[in-house]
Structure 1
Amino acid sequence: MNRISTTPGLYPLPDDAKETLSDLKGHQKHDLVSGDEGPEIEAAYDDVREELVGLQRDAGLDRVVEGQGRWDDMLAHPLTVHENVETGGIVRYYDNNNFYRDPIVEGELTFSGDLAADLEAASELTNDLQAVVPGPYSLSELATDEHYGDDEQFLAAVAEFLAGEVEAFPDVETVFVLEPSLVTDPPAEGEDERASDAIDTVAQAADADVVAHTYWGALEEKVHAHLLDAGVDAIGYDFVTNHEDNLYNVTEYGTKDSVALGVVDGQNTLVESPETIRERVDWFRESVPEAIEFDDAYVTANTGLFYLPVNRFEQKLQALADATREVTA
């Protein structure tokens, strides 16, 4: 089992960048509403990207993400910057204490290229690039549809939109598709199969290994079973929030040939040691029947790391990299 250190992205802004961007956005509020960040803000985000990629390279992570510094609205970002989406009022996602804007889809979800542009810039900084995208089910759940008319059509449209964005990506090693809503707001009977089909649509557009990463708990059994039908290379499990039910899903129903193990807490300031991370991965390997073999295990944080203080975030990156260095079994 080849252990690959990585993260689901969604990083905190470096401390110096927070103040700079706050000042710039205050002066360019009108441009931001119209979707034009302006050259000064773009340059500031370029600096953020370079710093975040540099941190991962210095730490020695096997996969390097762009960092998602521009994603003010977290997983909703690809919609909140779209020309046919109105960014509505402030809402709260996933019952946490952070607030974001509500993306209201008012027209066709045409190709944007926003994610690809960020990845193109990041590809000049590393050869081990990993893309991060919101999953179609989660993105549809976070948005308000005022164009497509029903949930089934809207989910399919979001999946096709994301597939088009993924097709435009530069060469990447891996694509992490983040699907926390599969856990927190599980799809109902019938919808669970459509959610799997939507993820498959996105995965088929990628010219790289695809990980459907779930977190904030464990998947319901039927949802997990349908997700296994999607054409992804690995499924991610949150072993911080709920290790017992996630282990049950894997041992009872199996999983893909590769797996992503969320063994570092992306929202707790306690920094896990490399030894603790190795022990958690070893526990998983020893708890799963020997007959189940894995090609790769992505050793990762369970969630994005945005809510951590910058120093703790940096320490967790280093711990992840150190935990997998020269460990292959």
Structure 2
Amino acid sequence: MKAYALGIYPRSPKLIEATRANDPRLDNLFKTEKRKLIKLQIKSNMALVEDPMLDWNDIFRPFVNVKGIELGALNRFFETNTFYRKLIINDELKGYGKIIKNNILLDELPANKAVVMPDPYTFAELNENQYYNSYEEYILAIAKMLNKEAQTLAKEGVEFIQLNAPSIAYNANNIDDFSIIKESIEIVKKRVKSKIYLHLYFGNIEKILDKLLDIKIDGLSIDMINNSIDAIKEYRFKGLGLGIIDATNTKLEDIKMAKDIEDRLNNMNYKEAYLCTNTDLEFLPYEFATKKISRLAAIAKKVKI
């Protein structure tokens, strides 16, 4: 079965030390460490391979280079021990389209390349609007920005774009108007040939799954640590990613779970399916993150669908 491990990866102890010391060779060290993790993904037969984003301090940080955005204060990222810098949107968003392209080793990825970026709702919720007159205007401006980024990536041959959407899953029981979320995500997909999957983690999405499946994109990947297969098995999926590897816990998954996954998938309705991590691997120590990739590969190899 196909598998992938997308998102921000943790830094190795060597890279952490170099970052703290502000080592003058830091840029080269980042590239060297990135190449190691790209090779690990390839060696592990990942169906999709990405730049591990080691030099991204958080999922939003590169967007500080967009005109109309400035860097704000540190904030905790959900219920984790990691932090992000809140972005302050204080003017019309301009000067985007190559932000992500310029911050990853795109040319060093194989043909089955993938890229990760935030979904519009998560971007809007976790950052601060000081310019747009309404929430709708604000989130749609973000969606248009992300669409330009996605169009550029598609033209560069990116096969798969994952929209990280933790805010949707985390707030699933408290979203009053889902229509603006749907509209914003569909804007990101416009004129983009790459597959676009919405990656939902840090919450249970059972109550909004029918609405999520109405979004005109290519698939959903679901955090299966916070959701159960029993709750989603009756739905019809275009594309499905099962986040079976817990990227917030060092305990390794049992390879024997492959048989149960196989049995359940054989009784589900989908056009394509992947196994993946439930969230970014950055929440784990480097040593355990690499072990999780190997375990994901081992489980995927045993699942025959």
TM-score (norm 2): 0.90
CA contact (8 A) 1:8 1:178 kept: no
Residue of structure 2 in register with 1:322 after alignment: 298
Q: Do 2:89 and 2:129's aligned partners in 1 also have CA atoms closer than 8 Å?
A: yes
Report the residue type matching 1:17 in the other structure: L
Equivalent in the alignment of 1:141: 125
Aligned ranges 1:254-293 → 2 under 5 Å: 254-276=235-257, 278-282=258-262, 284-285=264-265, 290=267, 292-293=268-269
| Deviation digits for residues 81-119 of structure 1 (CA, Å, limit 9, x no counterpart) | 434212111111213232221111112222151211244
Partner of 1:34: none
Q: Give the Cα separation in 2 of the matches to 1:320 and 1:6.
A: 8
Alpha-carbon separation, structure 2, partners of 1:215 and 1:209 = 19
| Percent pairwise identity | 23
Q: Is the 8 A contact 2:169 2:201 kept in 1?
A: yes
User: What do the CA deviations read for 1:134-181 (whole angstroms, capped 9, x no partner)?
Assistant: 111111111100111221111101111100111111212211111111
Distance 1:116 1:84 in 2: 19
Residue 294 (structure 2) pairs with residue 311 (structure 1) = no
Q: 154, 161, 168: which is aligned to 1:182? A: 168
Q: Secondary structure at the match of 1:242?
A: coil
Query: SS where residue 213 of structure 1 aligns?
Result: strand
Runs of 4+ in 1 over 6 A off after TM superposition: none
1:234 matches 2:219:
yes
Given the superposition, is the C-alpha separation of residues 280 and 132 from structure 1 closer, same or farther in structure 2, using an over 3 Å criterion?
Answer: farther
CA distance in 2, matches of 1:293, 1:180: 25
Is residue 248 of structure 1 aligned with residue 248 of structure 2?
no
Q: Which runs of 5+ in 1 are unaligned?
A: 28-39
Q: 2: distance between equivalents of 1:269 and 1:312?
A: 6
Using the TM superposition, name which of 174-183 and 196-205 deviates more: 196-205
Equivalent runs, 1:190-209 vs 2, <5 Å: 191-209=177-195
How far apart, CA to CA, are the structure 2 residues paired with 1:77 and 1:298? 28
Q: Which residue of 1 aligns with 2:51?
A: 66
Contact 1:166 1:205 in 2 (8 A): no
User: Following the alignment from structure 2 to structure 1, what is the Cα–Cα distance between the partners of residues 219 and 239?
Assistant: 5
Match of 2:89 in 1: 105
Q: Greater strand percent: which structure?
A: 2
How far did residue 250 of structure 1 move? 4.5
Indicate whether 1:22 and 2:3 are aligned: no
Code of the residue aligned with 1:192 in structure 2: it is: F
The Cα of 1:301 is off from its aligned counterpart by 0.6
RMSD over aligned Cα, in angstroms? 2.2
Corresponding residue for residue 107 of structure 2: 123
Deviation string 1:15-59 (CA, Å, 9 cap, x unpaired) is 21222222227x8xxxxxxxxxxxx54433322321221121122
Residues 1:180 and 1:90: Cα distance change in structure 2 (over 3 Å): same
Counterpart check, 1:48 vs 2:33: yes
Gaps of 5+ in 2: none
Give the 3-state SS of the residue equivalent to 2:39 in structure 1: helix
| Residues 1:280 and 1:311: Cα distance change in structure 2 (over 3 Å) | farther
How many residue pairs get aligned? The number is 301
1:301 equivalent in alignment to 2:277: yes
| CA deviations over 1:198-222 (Å, ceiling 9, x no partner) | 111112343222211101122252x
Asked if structure 2 preserves the Cα contact closer than 8 Å seen for 1:183 and 1:219, the reply is yes
**Paired letter, 1:235:** L
> Does the 8 Å CA contact 2:206/2:231 hold for their aligned counterparts?
no
1:274-316 deviations in Å (ceiling 9; x for gaps): 333x135225325xxx4x5322211001011101111111111
Q: Deviation digits for residues 204-252 of structure 1, max 9, x if unmatched?
A: 343222211101122252x322222222111111111221xx642452x
Distance 1:6 1:70, change over 3 A: same
Task: Assess if the C-alpha contact under 8 Å between 2:3 and 2:275 holds in 1.
Answer: yes
Report what 1:35 is aligned to. none
The two structures have a TM-score, normalised by structure 1, of 0.84
Code of the aligned partner of 1:146: Q
Q: State the distance in 1 between where 2:233 and 2:69 align.
A: 38
